[in-house]
Structure 1
C-alpha cells in the first residue's frame, strides 16, 4: 500500500495495471455550487500509485465551473482519482468534499466528461440527469415535535453554508441524515421544535439556497389525534341527482384539488377547482344531468399534482381507468323491488362458493353467455346429454346462498382483450364499489356491467337463493397506483416502526381499518352493496387483518339494512402491525357477535393440514383427531376450542375445501394414492357429510358435491379454464354423489336439531356416545312440534371395515342416510337396537315419535 493525501490506496504499479487502459486521457469535470461560492475551490487529481497535482477551475456558466486536464501513463490508465478541495493562503487542504472518487469511464479516444454537484457524492455522466435548481421537495409534520424536510439536492451540513428557519414555531434542534437510497451526502433533515405542533397551524420551512416550503402532514396522519380532527362523517364520491351532481373528496393533505371531466372517448373536457370544506374535504357542484360523465380528481400534494380515480366511484370506464357518474335508478331491472328470499336464522344457511367464470365457461354448459354475469341468469340450461347445469342446477341442489368470488373491479384482467382467455380469482382489488368488467358482455359501457350484475342477483333471488359477496378490503393490488395512496398518502395503510409497509396479508400491504376514514370506507361500501345491489352477505378475505371495532361497526350498519345479512370471514391471526387483542381473529370471536369465522380446525382435522400435501386427517386414516372433529360438530359449543371463544353456533362456518389450496378430491389422491376410486369417493362423502350435519353454518366449494378436481393445482388463482371450470361431464359421472349431498342438505333443513341457535340448546340436545378414535357417534334430541322424529343418531365411521353400533334404545328406527343415499324419506327401517355401519360412511337414523 502507498499513502496519498493522507488516504491509503491500493498499489497499482505498472506490473498490476490492466493492459487495456488508455495511455493518455483527457477529462472535463463540471462543478456546480448552488451557493455560487467558488472562491478557493480546486481539484486534486492523481493516477493510482502516482503523485497527485492541483487543477484549477475556470468559468463554466451557466452550469458553474469547469476543469479540463490530461493524464498520461505508458502502462495504461483505467481510472483517475480526484478530490474537490478548498485551499486558503495558509492551507492547501483547508477542507474537502467527500473522500477519494474515481473516474473510470472513457470513450475510445480516452475522453471523459462528468458533472458534480455541491454536497452530492454521486458522479453524473450526463448533464440532463441533474436539476441544478435547489428546492425543498417536502416538509412533513411527522410527530408533535418533528418536521421531516426533504430536498431535491444533497448538501453537506457540516461544511456548506446552510441556514434553516421555521415560521410558526421555534426550532430546538436540527439533525441531518443521509438518504439511504442514494450515495448523496444528505437529502433529509429533521427539525425538532420546542413547543408542540398543531394540526391547524400553518408552518413554513426556509433553507438558504433551497427556498421555502409549507409544512404538510406526514406520519402524523396515522395518529388518533389526526383522526379526531379530520374524520368526516358525511357522504363522499359523486352524489348524483338529475338536477345536479355534487363531487366530494377527502384529502386533508392536499393543497389544492381539481375536478377533471372527460368525454366518453377519453379527451379532457373541463377542469374545475374544488372548494375546501370541513375536515379536509373538497367539493364541487355541477348542475344538470351528468349521467355517464367521466371524471377524475387531481390533487396537489407537496408541490406535485396527482390524478386519481375517485375511491368511491360507483361506475368506471373500461379497465377501471376513470370514474363515471351514474344514474343508478336507470340500471335497475324490472321488478327489482321484489324482496330477497327470507332467511329466518343464520344457521339455516348452506353456503356454496362459486366463481362466475367457472360456473358456465365449460363448452358443455349449455349457457349462451359463458363466463358472464348473464350466464347465471339463463334458465333451463343443460349439457348436450340433457344434464342440468347453471342456475337451475344450483337451485335444485338445495343451497341457500351462493357466495361469489370477487365481483368488484379488479386489476389483472385486461377488459379490452376479452377475446383472449384470461383468468383470475379477483383478490387484486382496484375499485371496491364498481363491478368487474370482464364478466360483462360490454365492459366499455360503464352502466352495462351494473345492469347485468343486478339481473344476475335478481335471477339468483328468483330461484330461492341469496347472494354473498367476497370482499377484499385488507389490501390493495398496487399501493403507489391506488387511489387511497394518490389522494391521501400514508393514511390508509399500516406501517411498521421502521416506516416499511406492514405485510400481514403477504401481498405487500395491509390497509389500516382502525383509522376512521378507512373504517368509514369499508362500512360505506358494505352498506352501498347491500342497499344498491341487494347483496345478502359478505365474506371478508383475511378478516384477521381488520380490527374488531370496524367489524362490529359494519355489523351494526348492516343490521339497519337487514339483520339477516350474513357476515363471515377468515379470522386468521396474521402478523400485521396491529396488537393481537384488537384483531378481528378467531381468538376474539366473542367480541364480535353476529360475525362468523371459517373453521380451519375441522378442515385440517378432517383431511389433514391444508398446507401439507401428504398430511392426513380423520377421513383418510389418521388417529387422534376424534376430539377435534367433535369440537367442529358442536361448533365449539359442547367441546370448546382452546383459543377460540365463539358465543353461538352461527359464528362458526364449517368447511373442508374452498377455492384456496387443493380440492378435497385432490388432497385425498395425494394422501391415499393407492386407494380405489370407490374408497376415495367414500372418504370424500364422509367428510362432506360431517360438514353438512354439524352445528353452525356449512360451507361447500362449488363442485365439491361431484368431487371437483383441479388436477392437483393447489393455487389456481390464474390457471386456465380447463383447471378451474365446473366440469359438467364430471357432474354427470358423479350423479349419485350429487344426489347424496342434495339429500344431506334436505335432511339438514328438515329439522332444526341440525341447526340449533344457542350454546344452551346444543348442550341439552346433543350427546356423544363413547367410541374409538375412528368412529364418532352422537344423539340429537328433537322437539315434538318440529317434525316426525323425537331423536336422531348420527354415526361417522372412518374405519376401513364395517362397525356394529348399539343404538340408545330398542324400537323402530328409520335409516335416513347410509353409505350411498341420504334424504328425509326412510331408506329402510330396523326394529332393534343394533346397526351395522358400512366402512368409510355416515349413517343417520331417526326414531319416530311414539303415539301417546
Structure 2
C-alpha cells in the first residue's frame, strides 16, 4: 500500500496509543469503531478522544496487549476501510528508549579472518537487507538480516569482505529505503556507500607526549587542513591535503619555517583542525573547485576524502589522516578534532532518518523538525541511542586515531548528560584529553536546565566553553563590526576586561561570574567564524594607519595569552590574518581563506612578539592559575585611573605586575616600590628582561601591554 492508496492515516504514537486521521471526504470523517489487525490477530481499539483538525477527524485510541515492531499491523474501520499502521511519535517516547536501548559495542561491521559480521539498530523496520558489492564490480548481492533483541538486525557472512561496498535496505512504513551504515568507518567517493575495512592490527600505541597537567597549560591554535598549506608560497608539497598539513621542515620564500614546523616553533600545544569527518559541500574528485569549512556532516566516523591524495581508495584517506596526526604528535603537539554532532547536512537524506525515521532528531510542539542549529535539524542527543552513537564515535576516534581533544560545534544543542558521558569516556581512556565547546543557548526543544550551555557550566565543570563575554569585552561585539572593546580603546569595557582576564569567575563582581573555575573558560578574540580581528579593525578604525591597527591587534591577542583560562588563537592571527573583509567564508575560495605565509614574513616582528608572550605564559605560572581560589588569593587589582588596568600577581618567590593601556595616549602611573624587570612592553615580549623600571611615577606607552617582574 502506498500513500495514494490510503483512505485514512494511522500512527503508533505511544506503545499503546494510536492516532487515526479520517478525512472529512471519507464518510464524513466518522467511524464508531476501529480494529488493530496483523496476520493472526484482530484487536478492538478503544476511542478515548476525538477532535476535528485540518479537514480531518482525529481519533485517539488505546489498545491492550503487546505491540511487536517486527510485525506489520493494519487499522480497519467499521466500514472495512483499511490502512497500514505507521510508526509515529512512539519513537520519541521514554518507553521506546527503554525497550530498545542496546548496550553492545559491535554496531556496524566487524571483519574477522574468514567472516564478516554486520549489525544495524533498526527497531521499527519490518525487514532489513544487506546490499554488498565487490570492489571494481557492478554486481550486487542482497542478503537478508535477522532481527534479534533490542531492535538489532544482524547477519554473519561466511567470507572476508574487505573492501566490499555495502549499504542497508530497510522496510519501514511500507517503504523501502537504502541507507549507508551510520557506524560506517570508510566510504566510497563523496560518501555514497560504506566500505568494509579492517582496523589497525595490532593497534598503534598512543604517542608518548609530555603530560598535560591542567587545561590552562594548553595554547590552542585553530586551523583548516586546506587553509594551512594551500598558499602558493607555503613551501608545502601536498597543498590542501592531510599530508601537507603534516609536512615538516617546510619553508616559505623567506627561507623560514612554515606549516607544522612553524607552529611548533611558535610554542602552541594543541593544533585544532576544523572538521575532517566526511562532509558534504566539496566534490572529492574535483576538490580544487570547491571549498567548505566542513560543518555539513555526512558520516561521523569516516575521514573526509577531499584532503586525501586518492579519494577513490577508502584506505588512503584513513592512512593519510593517521600520518598527519602522527606527525603532529612527533612534533610534541596534540590534535583537537572539531566535531559536529549537533546536526546533519540534510536530515531526509541522512542514514539516521532513513533507518529510524524521526528518532535521531528533535521535533517541536507541532511535530515538525526543530531548527535551533539554523540548518534545518537538531540532533536529539538526549535519546539513549543517539547519546550512545556520540559516545561510541568519540571512543572510536580516540582508539583508532589517537585524538587528544574534541571541540564541540554548537554544544548548546546537546544535553548535559551526553556531555558528562563524553567527559567520562575521555577520562576513562586517557589523561589530559581536552573537551571544549560552543555553549550558546539555541532555540531547540530541550528543557533549559538540560542544555549544555554556559548557563549550565556548573553541571559540566570539566568541559571548557568558548567565552563570548571575553571576546566581546576585549575586541567589541562580534555582531556589530563597529563596536570597539577594551583592547581597541573603549574604556567603558574596563570593568568587564578585569573580570574576563581574571578567568570570568566573578573576581570583583560576583554577579558577573560566568564560570566557577578558570579551566572552563576558552579565551579568544578571533576564530574561523565571523570577521578576523584585522578585518574588524579596518572597519572600526577606518581613519588610522595600519601601524596603529597593528598595535590594537597586538594588545587584544596579548590579552588572550595572558588571561586566566585557556587561550585560543585563530591560525594567522599572529600575523594579522585577513579575509579581505569577508565575514562568513565557509565556502569562499582559497584566496579568501588561505593562510598567507607571506604575511608571516611581512609581520615577523609581531609573530616574535606573540611567540614571546606564549613563552612567558608557559614559564610564569601566575598567568595560568588552576582554580578560582588561587586567583582570588594571588591576584590583586592595583589602584589606577581609567583607562589603565593594572593587577599584581603574587607567587611563592616573585611578584608580577600586568599593566594595560588601551588608549592612544601615554598614561602616567605610580609603580609600587622596588625594581621591576620589563618582560613585556609594546614592542618586545619574552622571559628575559628588556630593562628595569623603578618604583614611583612612570609613563605607560600608548596601546601597550606591560609585564613587570620584581627583581
State the distance in 2 between where 1:758 and 1:470 align: 26
Within the candidate set 156, 175, 189, 1:304 is matched to: 175
Q: Which residue of 2 aligns with 1:118?
A: none
Q: Which is further off, 564-573 or 221-230?
A: 221-230
* Cα distance, 1:228 vs structure 2: 1.1
Gaps of 5+ in 2: 37-41
Tell me which residue corresponds to 2:664.
800
SS of residue in 2 equivalent to 1:835: strand
| Secondary structure at the counterpart of residue 502 of structure 1 | coil
Q: In the alignment, is the contact (CA less than 8 A) between 1:136 and 1:210 conserved in 2?
A: no
Q: CA deviation at 1:720?
A: 0.5
Q: 2:147 matched to which residue of 1?
A: 276
CA contact 1:590–1:645 (8 Å) conserved in 2: no
Q: Report what 2:499 is aligned to.
A: 631
Shift of 1:143: 3.4
Aligned CA-pair RMSD: 2.4
Following TM superposition, by how much is the alpha carbon of 1:147 offset from its aligned partner in structure 2, in angstroms? 1.7
| Residue equivalent to 1:604 | 472
The alignment status of 1:217 with 2:80, answered yes or no, reads: no
Question: Is the partner of 2:140 in helix, strand or coil?
Answer: strand
Native 8 Å contact 1:135 1:211 kept in 2: no
Correspondence 1:162-201 to 2 at 5 A? 164-166=34-36, 167-172=42-47, 190-195=58-63, 199-200=67-68
Which deviations, in whole Å up to 9, do the C-alpha atoms of 1:488-523 show, x marking residues without a partner? 001111111011111111111111111111111111
Deviation at 1:805, TM superposition (A): 2.1
What SS is found at the alignment partner of 1:227?
helix
Give deviations 1:161-216, integer Å, cap 9, x for gaps.
997433334232685867x6xxxx66xx6442355675558753124788645535
Alpha-carbon deviations, 1:562-582, whole Å to 9, x = none?
Answer: 131100001011111011111
* Partners of 1:643 and 1:578 in 2: CA distance: 26
Map of 1:781 onto structure 2: 650
Match of 1:241 in 2: 112
Three-state SS of the structure 1 residue aligned to 2:456 is: helix
Q: Aligned partners of 1:268 and 1:140: how far apart in 2?
A: 38
Matches within 5 A, 1:128-143: 134-135=5-6, 139-143=10-14
Structure 2 residue 328 is matched with structure 1 residue 460: yes
- Name the residue aligned to 1:478: 346
Contact 1:216 1:253 in 2 (8 A): no
**Partner residue in 2 for 1:736:** 605
DSSP-derived class of the 2:353 partner: helix
CA contact (8 A) 1:599 1:652 kept: yes
TM-score normalised by length of structure 2:
0.94
Q: 1:538: which partner in 2?
A: 406
Aligned counterpart, 1:566:
434
* Alpha-carbon distance change, 161 to 570 in structure 1, aligned in 2, over 3 angstroms: closer
Give the C-alpha shift of residue 297 in structure 1.
0.9
Map 1:423-462; keep pairs closer than 5 Å.
423-462=291-330
Residue 154 to residue 258, structure 1, CA distance change in 2 (3 Å) = farther
Q: What displacement does 1:384 show? A: 2.8
Matched, 1:827 2:684: no
Contact 1:354 1:402 in 2 (8 A): yes
- TM-score, normalised on structure 1? 0.79
The separation in 2 between residues aligned to 1:341 and 1:506, in whole angstroms, is 40
Partner of 1:496: 364
Deviation at 1:245, TM superposition (A): 2.3
Deviations 1:640-661 (A, max 9, x none): 6647552321110000010000
2:68 is equivalent to residue 204 of structure 1:
no
Q: In 2, Cα distance between the equivalents of 1:689 and 1:402?
A: 19
Distance 1:722 1:612 in 2: 25
Provide the residue aligned with 2:39 in structure 1: none
Report the Cα distance in structure 1 between the residues aligned to 2:423 and 2:227, rounded to whole angstroms.
Answer: 30
Contact 1:794-1:845 within 8 A present in 2 as well: yes
Given that 2:121 and 2:152 are in contact with CA atoms closer than 8 Å, whether structure 1 keeps it comes out as yes
Q: State whether structure 2 residue 671 is matched by structure 1 residue 847.
A: no
Q: Deviations over 1:86-118 (max 9, x none)?
A: xxxxxxxxxxxxxxxxxxxxxxxxxxxxxxxxx
CA deviations on 1:58-111 (whole Å, 9 max, x unpaired) are xxxxxxxxxxxxxxxxxxxxxxxxxxxxxxxxxxxxxxxxxxxxxxxxxxxxxx
Deviations 1:315-350 (A, max 9, x none): 111000011111121697xx7653344312111000
CA contact (8 A) 1:237 1:247 kept: yes
Q: Is the 8 A contact 1:142 1:217 kept in 2?
A: yes
Per the TM alignment, residue 605 of structure 1 is displaced from its structure 2 partner at its CA by 1.2
* Greater mean alpha carbon deviation, residues 613-622 or residues 352-361: 613-622
Partner of 1:326: 197
SS of match in other structure, 2:300: strand
The answer for the alignment partner of 2:263 in structure 1 is: 394
Q: Equivalents in 2 of 1:530, 1:506: separation in Å?
A: 29
Distance 1:807 1:210 in 2: 94
Distance verdict in 2 for CA 1:726–1:159, change over 3 Å: closer
* Alpha-carbon shift at residue 440 of structure 1 (Å): 0.4
Structure 1 residues 210 and 825: alpha-carbon distance in aligned structure 2, compared to 1, 3 A threshold: farther
Q: Which runs of 5+ in 1 are unaligned?
A: 1-129, 785-789
Cα distance between partner residues in 1 of 2:648 and 2:411? 34
**Residue from 386, 391, 394 that aligns with 1:526:** 394
Corresponding position of 2:460: 592
Q: Which is worse superposed, 689-698 or 764-773?
A: 764-773
- Secondary structure of the residue that 2:695 maps to in structure 1? coil
Give the drift of 1:145.
Answer: 5.7
Following superposition, the deviation at residue 530 of structure 1 comes to 1.1
CA distance in 1, matches of 2:3, 2:198: 51
- Any idea what SS the aligned residue of 2:305 has? coil
Question: Residues 586 and 644 of structure 1 are in contact (CA less than 8 Å); yes or no, is this contact kept in structure 2?
Answer: no
CA–CA distance in 2 between the matches of 1:581 and 1:772? Answer: 41
Aligned-pair CA distance for 1:136: 6.4
- Give yes or no for the alignment of 1:257 onto 2:132: no
Residue number in structure 2 paired with 1:84? none
8 A Cα contact 1:299 1:487, kept in partner = yes
CA spacing shift, 1:290–1:367, aligned 2, 3 Å: same
- Residues 438 and 137 of structure 1: is their aligned pair in 2 closer, same or farther, counting only changes over 3 Å? farther
Tell me if the contact between 1:136 and 1:150 (Cα under 8 Å) persists in the aligned partners. no
* Cα pair 2:9 2:85 within 8 Å, conserved: yes
Pick from 230, 253, 258: which aligns with 1:384? 253
Shift of the alpha carbon at 1:286? Answer: 1.6
The structure whose residues are more often helix, as a share, is 2
In structure 2, what is the equivalent of residue 28 of structure 1? none
Whether the aligned pair in 1 keeps the contact of 2:17 and 2:63 (CA below 8 Å) is: no
Deviation at 1:140, TM superposition (A): 2.1
Kept in 2, the 8 Å contact 1:631–1:641? The answer is no
Please state how far the C-alpha of 1:598 moved relative to its aligned partner: 0.4
Kindly tell me: are residues 540 and 776 of structure 1, through their superposed partners in 2, closer, same or farther at Cα, counting changes over 3 Å? same
Report the structure number with the largest CA radius of gyration: 1
Q: CA deviation at 1:677?
A: 1.2
Contact 2:270 2:334 in 1 (8 A): yes
User: 2:46, 2:459 → 1: CA distance?
Assistant: 46
- CA distance, structure 2, for counterparts of residue 228 and residue 710 of structure 1: 50
Tell me which of 501, 515, 530 is aligned to 1:661. 530
Distance 2:211 2:670 in 1: 40
* Contact in 2 for aligned 1:607/1:668 (Cα 8 Å): no
1:506 equivalent in structure 2 = 374
**Mapping 1:86-165, distance limit 5 Å:** 134-135=5-6, 139-143=10-14, 146-149=17-20, 155-158=25-28, 164-165=34-35
Residues 169 and 347 of structure 1, relative CA distance in 2, 3 Å threshold: farther
The answer for the alignment partner of 1:582 in structure 2 is 450
